[in-house]
């Protein structure tokens, strides 16, 4: 396309879809939908085949979100292994300088430099985020990474609970502006303004300016593929954090 083939999702899309869902729910038979969801829940609890109940839900106008929420209440929510914990540590000698910098920064901070990697939204592409997380772990950082498809609130909750010194967001869905804006707003509400946020993804230059305006400290796009340079930035940013 004219913008180099980069798709940016308009912020209006979410609100338009929510409006369509509300209209759909307003027009359907609410009692039939509730009854179908109740039967789905009973089938799941009783370990019956949920196909028949699921078809009944579809015919009653139950949304995919309602169907999934009902099953999550029964079974919980599956979190796939991240691939970070099982990855062998890198043996690169070139990491020694970075390890020394992390150790020095940790000493200044009073505890091990903690770096949280978050994947907000519906983006399921985890390779880049996991490479960053593994390299950060290899040079001595305490890494927090809970996998894909997290909400901004879940990311901020984890960052606050773990006292993260730096937060890294990986977004390849095209929804980087609203997702980052939500994360930054929640951080301000929690008094976490001092925690630097970095963002990586396929981000057009115009959007980079928007992200900087909301407070993002560093932005990385596919051209920024030198992991060690990114690690150096994280250490530098963490050095100015006081928690």
pLDDT of 47-66, one tens digit each?
999 999 999 999 999 999 99
State the greatest distance between any 2 C-alpha atoms of the chain, in Å, as a whole number: 66
pLDDT of residue 74: 96
Residue 125: pLDDT band with limits 50, 70, 90: confident
Residue 84 has pLDDT above 70, yes or no: no
pLDDT of residue 228: 93
- Interatomic CA distance for residues 43 and 97, integer angstroms: 57
Residues 173-210: pLDDT tens digits? 888 999 999 999 999 999 999 999 999 998 998 999 99
For helices 51-59 and 30-45, the axis angle rounded to 10 degrees is: 170
CATH number listed for the domain at residues 93-238:
3.40.50.280
Return the structure tokens found at 59.
Answer: 């015919």
Residues in contact with 174: Cβ distance below 8 Å, sequence separation at least 6, in sequence order: 6, 7, 8, 9, 202
233: burial class by Cβ within 10 Å (0-12, 13-18, 19+)? middle
Residues 128-141: pLDDT tens digits? 899 999 999 999 99
- Count the neighbouring beta carbons within 10 Å of the beta carbon of residue 149: 16
Mean local confidence (pLDDT), 124-128? 85
Ranking 11-15, 86-90, 225-229, 237-241 by mean pLDDT, the lowest is: 86-90
The H or E element spanning position 54 is helix 51-59
Residue 93 has pLDDT above 90, yes or no: no
pLDDT of residue 242: 47
Q: What are the boundaries of each domain within the chain?
A: 14-75, 93-238
pLDDT of residue 117: 97
Give me the percent of the chain exceeding a pLDDT of 90: 73
Return the structure tokens found at 103.
Answer: 């150790």
The most confident of the ranges 83-97, 116-130, 192-206 is 192-206
- Sign, CA torsion 98/99/104/106: positive
């Amino acid at each position: 396309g004219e913008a180099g083939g980069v798709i940016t999702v308009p912020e209006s899309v979410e609100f338009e879809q929510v409006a369509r869902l509300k209209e759909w729910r307003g027009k359907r038979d609410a009692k039939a939908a509730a009854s179908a969801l109740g039967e789905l829940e009973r089938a799941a609890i009783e370990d019956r085949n949920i196909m028949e109940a699921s078809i009944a839900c579809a015919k009653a106008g139950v949304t995919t979100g309602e169907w999934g929420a009902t099953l999550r209440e029964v079974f919980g929510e599956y979190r796939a292994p991240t691939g970070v914990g099982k990855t062998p540590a890198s043996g690169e000698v070139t990491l020694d300088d970075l390890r020394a910098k992390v150790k020095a920064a940790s000493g200044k901070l009073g505890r091990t430099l903690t770096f949280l990697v978050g994947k907000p939204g519906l983006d399921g592409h985890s390779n880049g985020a996991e490479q960053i997380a593994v390299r950060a772990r290899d040079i001595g950082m305490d890494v927090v990474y809970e996998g894909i498809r997290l909400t901004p609130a879940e990311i901020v909750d984890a960052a606050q609970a773990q006292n993260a010194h730096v937060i890294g967001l990986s977004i390849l869905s095209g929804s980087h502006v609203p997702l980052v804006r939500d994360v930054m707003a929640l951080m301000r509400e929690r008094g976490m303004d001092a925690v630097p946020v970095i963002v990586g993804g396929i981000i057009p230059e115009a959007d980079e300016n928007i992200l900087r305006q909301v407070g993002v400290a560093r932005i990385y796009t596919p051209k920024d593929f030198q992991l060690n340079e990114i690690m150096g930035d994280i250490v530098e940013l963490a050095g100015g954090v006081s928690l």
